[in-house]
Amino acid sequence: MTDLTKQMLEKLNEFFEEEKLLNHAAHVVQFDMETVCPPKGMELAGETQAYLSNKIFKIHRDPNFLVAAGWLYDHRDELDVYDRALAEQLHREDMKIRNITPEQDREFSKVYNKAYAAWLKAKQSSDFSQFAPSLSAVRDVEFKRVELMDEKSPVLYDNLLDTYERGMTSEKLDEVFGKCRSRLVPLLKKIMASKKVIRTDFLNREVDDRAQEKAVKYLLDTIGFDFERGGFSTTEHPFTDSMGPDDERVTTHFYPTNFLSSMYSTVHEGGHALFDQNQPREHWIHNITDGKTMGQHESVSRFYENIIGRSEAFIHLIFPKIQEIFGDVLSDVTEREFYEAVNYVSPSCIRTEADEFTYIFHIMIRYEIEKAIVAGGVSIDDLPKIWNDTYEEYLGIRPADDADGVLQDVHWTSGFGYFPTYALGNMYNAMYRNRMREEFDVDAAVAAGDFGKINGWMKEHVWKKADLLAPAEWIRDITGRELTPDDFLDYLEEKYSKLYEL
């Protein structure tokens, strides 16, 4: 590395020292908004968050920052693997935000933050009309951001997808979702026609918040969550937030008569947390932890939630403890009955409560609708009806109100293109699950509670290079193959054909 390149890298790192503090403060404010902030405090909290985000944006528009980042990108062959990854990340970011002024960025942030407050109010009153103006404003901001990009795809929606899943296109998603439809729709019909009776009456028995909290903390501990470097809280819509290398926040929501919701949302969010807690320390030091995509992240959360968490081996491991914590609620339930109930297939309106099998239908519905929104083919005001009609077409059910329908998810308050990452996550993790099984007996490790072995494999093969490689390269590095939905579809067909005795 030449002296000048070294100087540029040092200058860039000075900027990042300030950014880390601002970023931490912004995350704390956002976390507060989504957990304990009272309704009337939302506006000021949103303005504060927008102010902090804008300060970070200004750092990345500072002429000295841009000179240093540009130099490093042009001389990236002189850099080690981590700093080269940083230079490439900053270049990609610059192509997206180069033409956005600090004033525009702050206005954009205000739109997103106001949209969150409007969504929360609208959901609580189950009235989409209260959210529609904010969603229209979000759509307009998304269009404006794409318009200002220096390098962009001619397909508008693909630019939004790329924000969350680098290199992904609607053409590729149409292909993989087409395969999913062709194989899963007929299988769903067979499952619904099956004479197999699965007992589910106990799932709606009341469990108080204290018992649920004890259960979910046990689950987090079981899968390897480090409570010395992570916290736990409750919220309206479960999420995980990474405040820093030693501060990972996991949240859930307790429903008195739906204890599975908190259990599996916590394991899901715990998967996200494990990803961040176990990534190489060098990634934090070199400021590249934003390199991973949401598809990569969702692959891990859904790996722990479903492939591990809904397996016979995991139920065998946790059932005695959950039965002890819940007391009489599960006193007349067998381990086998609990396993079958955890995997019961029943088309429902709520994505986050969906069973493992029908979950991808929820994603395909959202994908189709947001593609139409971006293409200008639908009116925002018509979304409740479009949403309900699409649910009836795909799953044969119709939401009773807006809260259970178009308002159930928070994601559109921050833009479009996120939802497909959940489905991509399922495809990635089914692929690396098969790769893991080639090396050791995964079910035996789970049944024994040996998450050191499982997390050790994940750390070496899945988490280690996520910030360094684009998703297509990353999954190829792990499995030696290109992305395919086939492993995921094979997994579902094998598991649910056996469960429903097809």
CB distance 293 to 179 below 8 Å: no
Position 160 in a domain = no
For residue range 327-384, list pLDDT tens digits in order: 999 999 999 999 999 999 999 999 988 999 999 999 999 999 999 999 988 999 999 9
**Together in a domain, 178 and 126:** no
Host domain of residue 219: 170-499
Position 121 in a domain = yes
For residue range 211-255, list pLDDT tens digits in order: 999 999 999 999 999 999 999 999 988 999 999 999 999 999 999
Interval 398-405 mean pLDDT: 96
Between CA 344 and CA 499 the distance in angstroms is 9
Position 95 in a domain = yes
CB distance 234 to 254 below 8 Å: yes
**Is residue 266's pLDDT more than 90?**
yes
Position 290 in a domain = yes
Classify 501 in phi/psi space as left (phi over 0), alpha (psi -120 to 50) or beta. Answer: left
Q: What is the CATH number of the domain that holds 430?
A: 1.10.1370.30
For residue range 62-89, list pLDDT tens digits in order: 999 999 999 999 999 999 999 999 999 9
CB distance 161 to 170 below 8 Å: yes
**Together in a domain, 98 and 186:** no
CB distance 171 to 148 below 8 Å: no
Q: What is the mean pLDDT of the chain?
A: 95
CB distance 417 to 475 below 8 Å: no
User: In the numeric block, which tokens belong to residue 453?
Assistant: 């072995």
**Side-chain-facing half-sphere of 117: CA atoms under 13 Å:** 21
**Together in a domain, 326 and 366:** yes
**Is residue 59's pLDDT more than 90?**
yes
CB distance 72 to 93 below 8 Å: no
**Together in a domain, 92 and 184:** no
**Together in a domain, 50 and 185:** no
Using the structure block, give the residue that is written with the tokens 């540029």.
8
Interval 473-484 mean pLDDT: 97
CB distance 131 to 146 below 8 Å: no
Helix axes 486-499, 170-193, angle to 10 degrees: 10
pTM of the model: 0.91
Q: What are the φ and ψ backbone dihedral angles of 191, each rounded to 5 degrees? A: -65, -45
User: In the numeric block, which tokens belong to residue 211?
Assistant: 């018992």
**Together in a domain, 252 and 307:** yes
Between CA 394 and CA 449 the distance in angstroms is 38
Boundary (domain end) residue, out of 120, 152, 184: 152
**Together in a domain, 258 and 375:** yes
Between CA 500 and CA 198 the distance in angstroms is 9
Contacts of 266 (CB under 8 A, 6+ apart): 216, 219, 220, 238, 250, 252
Boundary (domain end) residue, out of 124, 152, 180: 152
**Is residue 478's pLDDT more than 90?**
yes
Nearest-CA neighbor of 12 among 289, 288, 292, 291?
Answer: 288
CB distance 243 to 31 below 8 Å: yes
**Together in a domain, 175 and 127:** no
**Which three-class secondary structure state does DSSP give residue 89?**
helix
Interval 5-26 mean pLDDT: 95
Position 327 in a domain = yes
- Measured over all CA atoms, what is the biggest interatomic distance in the chain, rounded to whole angstroms? 74
Position 165 in a domain = no
Position 157 in a domain = no
**Together in a domain, 204 and 86:** no
In this predicted structure, what is the pLDDT of residue 50? Answer: 87
CB distance 297 to 458 below 8 Å: no
DSSP string, 107-123: HHHHHHHHHHHHHHHHH
Tally of structural domains, the chain:
2
**Together in a domain, 146 and 183:** no
**Together in a domain, 191 and 74:** no
- DSSP classification of residue 413: G
Position 163 in a domain = no
Contacts of 377 (CB under 8 A, 6+ apart): none
Nearest-CA neighbor of 87 among 9, 10, 14, 203?
Answer: 9
Catalytic residues: 269
For residue range 24-56, list pLDDT tens digits in order: 999 999 999 999 999 899 889 989 988 999 999
In this predicted structure, what is the pLDDT of residue 353? Answer: 83
In this predicted structure, what is the pLDDT of residue 352? Answer: 83
**Together in a domain, 85 and 205:** no
Residue 194 CA to its chain's centroid (Å): 32
In this predicted structure, what is the pLDDT of residue 377? Answer: 84
